[in-house]
Amino acid sequence: APHDRFFDKTVSNMQEVAARGGRIILITDEKGAAASKLDTMHTIVLPEVDEIIAPIIFSLPLQLLAYHTAVFMGTDVDQPRNLAKSVTVE
């Protein structure tokens, strides 16, 4: 949730999750951490970057979180179950 033009909508979505008992791990920048008034399980603060590369920078901790969660759960991250492969032939 970088502090950009969509930040308020993202916070609104996080409030909906919290209202339903969900636990929130907030990944944001310094401005977002200061602006968010949510009770989060954890807040990860990333450096402020240009809006054009923010999706790349913010996806890195999400990929690591997904990887380590899968390893913790005992799933094979290299051979996911029910992986469907598609081949396009022209």
Distance CA 58, CA 29 (A): 9
**φ, ψ at 27 (rounded to 5°):** -110, 115
Q: Is the pLDDT of residue 82 over 80?
A: no
Instruction: Name which CATH class applies to 7-73.
Output: alpha beta
pLDDT per residue over 38-65, tens digit each?
Answer: 888 889 999 989 888 988 999 999 999 9
- pLDDT of 85 reads 67
- pLDDT of 81 reads 74
pLDDT per residue over 15-34, tens digit each?
Answer: 999 999 999 999 999 998 99
- pLDDT of 87 reads 67
On whether the pTM is more than 0.85, the answer is no
Parse the chain into domains and list their residue ranges: 7-73
- pLDDT of 9 reads 92
Long-range pairs of 64-68 with CB within 8 A, sequence gap ≥ 24: 65/25
Q: Is the pLDDT of residue 76 over 80?
A: yes
